[in-house]
Structures are given as C-alpha cells and as structure tokens.
Amino acid sequence: MQGIDEVGGKVAIVTGAASGIGRAITELLVERGAYVIAEDIDPAVEALASPHVVPLVADISADGSAEKAVGLAVERFSRLDLLVNNAGIIINKLVVDMSRNDWERIMTVNVTGAFLHAREAMKAMIPRRSGAIVNVASYASYFSFPTIAAYTASKGALAQLTRTLALEAIEHGIRVNAVGSGDVLTNILNDAAPDGNGVAALAAHGEGAPIGRAANPKEIAEVVLFLASDRASFMVGSVVMADGGMSVKVGS
C-alpha cells in the first residue's frame, strides 16, 4: 500500500502518541499504510495497539527509552524509516516563580528526549542511508510572551537541534526538519488552565492568530507527514511554520 505522501510501508516512531498531535500523526501514518511504534508516558497509548501500531509506555527523557523504541521498531518491523519527536510539556510561570525542577523538567522532556531519540534513530538509519526525522517545534521557537520562558527556551533549542542534526545527518541520506506549530486543540494546557480545560484556553488564544482560530491536530499531522515523506526530498534543516500566521503578526 502506498500512501499519497509516500509513507506506505515505512516504519515510524512517534513520541507523545497517546493524544493530541501525536495521536493524529499516528492515525494518519496508519491510514496511509505505515507501521508505528507509538510511545507515550501515558498508559492510554496502549489503546492504539493494532497490526500497524506497537504501543510503548515510556518516559522519553529516561535513559534506555529511546533504545527500547528503536529496538522495538527493528525487532517487529526489521527497520526504522521515520522518527517524529512530538512529545512535549509546558509550564506557565513567571521566571521569578519557577523552580529549578520546573525548568529542568521542561528542558529534559522537550529537548533531551528529542536528542536521545534522534541519536538512537540515526544509528538505525545510517546503515540504510535513508530516513527522516521531524521535530514538532513551535512559533515559541522564535517568539514569546510572559510565563512561558522554559517552554520558549526548549522550543528554541529544538529548532537549533533540528538545524545541527540536519547538517550531520544529510551526508547519510537522512533528512531532519521541524514543524513550527501554532496553537492546537490538545490537552497540553489542562494542568495550567484555571478550570482544567486546556482545549478551551488554546481555542481562545488561537483566536489571536491572523487565521482567527487554533488548529485541529490533524492539520499539524498533515505537515509532519509531508516533511517525513519523499515529497519533501529537498528539504533539509527547515522549520516549517504551521501557526495560522502567528509568527508573522506584528503587534498584540
């Protein structure tokens, strides 16, 4: 089966796959004929199990998790073609109110987890001289507002990690790119929203984008699959903005 984005038959790892953007990416990959190691710290990821999906409950930032994910891909499907570093968390605190643990948890999940998975994925891809890595970054890779210092620092680092990995990987036939996501209707803000309704908070914030709304997770998944596919064969080290125009908006 060959998907319209040429991912049919390919083997992928998707982190943060239990919900939101990660789940949308996983479902779209399967719909288009790919096989997926769906990794998440949330045991709910096990509900995705199917002949095309192998769930893995793991903390992406923990030693050994990346090795286990790559090992599963090779064991179950004989190779690894794609990695999507999607898992991420956020904290909304002013810098003066933030603890070192707050800061380090954001950096460890959003940056170190991506580094560890990219490192292990490349080890599996280099002998085949092919592969693609897509990191889910953000408009916060470049822009900010109060209370998201740790998140913006992590997403800025992820954009730079993308560029450096791209330079190191391309000689081995591996392309590395990122998506600069805008506000997306997911549960990432559930812990930060006063009423626990992160989706409503993101919907309200998304109204400030030039497009006037937040994205559906599948809209970001479509961009991820394009970058992962051979249709993006000349794209190396790009951060493709899919943010409803937020990053080109001037003023409040």
What is the per-residue pLDDT across 68-115, written as a single tens digit (0 to 9) for each? 999 999 999 999 999 999 999 999 999 999 999 999 999 999 999 999
Report the alpha-carbon distance of residue 154 to residue 116 in Å, rounded: 15
Whether 175 and 134 have beta carbons less than 8 Å apart is answered as no
Residues annotated catalytic, as ranges: 151
As a whole number, mean pLDDT of residues 138-145 equals 94
The pLDDT of residue 204 is 82
Looking at residue 78, what is its pLDDT?
97
Sort strands 239-242 and 174-181 into parallel, antiparallel or unpaired.
Answer: parallel
| Lowest-pLDDT range of 30-34, 146-150, 246-250 | 246-250
Residues 168-192 have pLDDT tens digits of 999 999 999 999 999 999 877 566 6
| Domain at 11-246: CATH architecture | 3-Layer(aba) Sandwich (3.40)
In terms of Cα–Cα distance, which of 227, 220, 228, 222 is closest to 244?
220
Tell me if the pTM is above 0.85: yes
Please name the helix (run of DSSP H) or strand (run of DSSP E) that holds residue 217, with its range, or none: helix 217-228
Domain range summary for the chain, segments of one domain joined by + = 11-246
